[in-house]
Amino acid sequence: MTRVFQVAENQLMLLQNGVAYFPQLCADIDAAQHSIYLETYILAADETGRMVSDALCRAAGRGVVVRVLLDGYGSAELPLSWLDELLAAKVEVQWFRREISPFTLRRSRMRRLLRLHRKLAVMDGEVAFVAGINIINDVSSRESFSFPRLDYAVRVQGVAVGEIHATMRHLWGVVTWANFRQRGKEIRHFVLERAKPAATPEISLLLRDNLRHRRDIEGAYLKAIAEAQREIIIANAYFLPGRAFRQALIQAAQRGIRVVLLLQGRVEYRLQHYATHALYDQLLAAGIEIYEYQASFLHAKVAVVDGLWATVGSSNIDPFSLLLAREANLEVRDAGFAGELRASLLAAIADDAVRVGDGYGVSGNWIGKLVAHISYGIVRLLIGLLGYGRSI
């Protein structure tokens, strides 16, 4: 899966799993001459983290400006020794909301759940990556299976890189300003650069934040679903859509559109996993096909509509991504690119997934149904404490 697709003034490469993504990422880091920006939710202290960290240090050692933005919760387990190595190599590292308290549910404290979940990288303002893949060994050491997490990234060259680059520089500036303000230092003449839209309508960078882009990613999904003519395929690791999203899928199925969901089959996080099951009866009753991925953990956050529209990125379809986190997806309108992603998803469904039967969740599985609804209720309670209860 290394075909290059020419989309308007851009070249796109779809990368599946870390086995394709990390070598390409490191090769582009090694080729950088001027600057590297990297954002990730998780930077893990494992062989994959070592591979990427070493590449970043090599770049800084040859005079490249290297700026790494880590989420304070997702990367909280990164050892100080790793951070010291990066800083000693002249890699600039900042943290997005490093402090978090799990012991209080006050709204002021719950705001700390506003995480940086984006996985972006830009080299020299010429090559960019928009991904759902964390910098971590994607073959889980906690489980017996040897298959990698199913996930995707897109490598971009062309005019769309400018918007991604500006977006990352802008957030770096915001975090820099916030960190200085927390230290009580005054900043004067500090200008935050705003991202400018890409020049080609075939490619859009979709962001989610709590300011100007609160509903952009969800809105793009809803628009594509509403305009679908034949088929909707969504693969999502943590699938817990709100009422409007569920209704859009149900209405699509009712007007004869084939709606296919590829969801998590392995239990990684119990609360999210079983809360999703509470939606199965309603979706199955509408004629929506549900498949659970079994080969490994599903970490993908992608979709294809009619083999023409596709999105790849970091945003799950759940309240934590759609209401709380900073996310980034790439929206692509191209038959070649969308067709390759569709073929990959259909292969995963055929080879590594099982279909959920229409009898799921009825009286014969009442215990599972009870657990599902309790889990869903807990999620609704947590989101309600943040003031978003009506959204799900």
Please identify every residue annotated as catalytic: 117, 119, 124, 299, 301, 306
> Radius of gyration (Cα) for the chain, nearest Å?
21
Q: Per DSSP, what are the bridge partners of residue 158?
A: 10
And the tokens for 113?
């759940």
- Residue 92 has a CB neighbour count (10 Å cut-off) of 16
52's CB contacts (< 8 A; 6+ apart) are 22, 25, 26, 29, 43, 135
Q: State both tokens at 83.
A: 């951070």
Contact status, residue 133 vs residue 151, Cβ threshold 8 Å? yes
DSSP secondary structure string for all residues of 247-267 = HHHHHHHHTT-EEEEEEE-S-
Give the other-Cβ count within 10 Å of 392's Cβ.
20
The distance of Cα 15 from the centroid of its chain, to the nearest Å, equals 14
Quick check: helix, strand or coil at residue 122?
Answer: strand
With b for 16 or more beta-carbon neighbours within 10 A and e for fewer, the 199-225 pattern comes to: eeebbbbbbbbeeebeebbbebbbebb
**Can you tell me the distance from the alpha carbon of 179 to that of 184, in angstroms, rounded to the nearest whole number?**
9
Q: Under a CB-based contact definition with an 8 Å cutoff, are residues 63 and 36 in contact?
A: no
Nearest residue to 232 (alpha-carbon basis) of 194, 192, 204, 260: 260
CA atoms of 239 and 286, how far apart (whole Å): 17
**144 dihedral zone (left: phi>0; alpha: psi -120 to 50; beta):** alpha
Q: How far apart are CA 297 and CA 299, in angstroms?
A: 6
- In whole angstroms, give the CA distance from residue 315 to residue 246: 17
d(CA 224, CA 306): 9
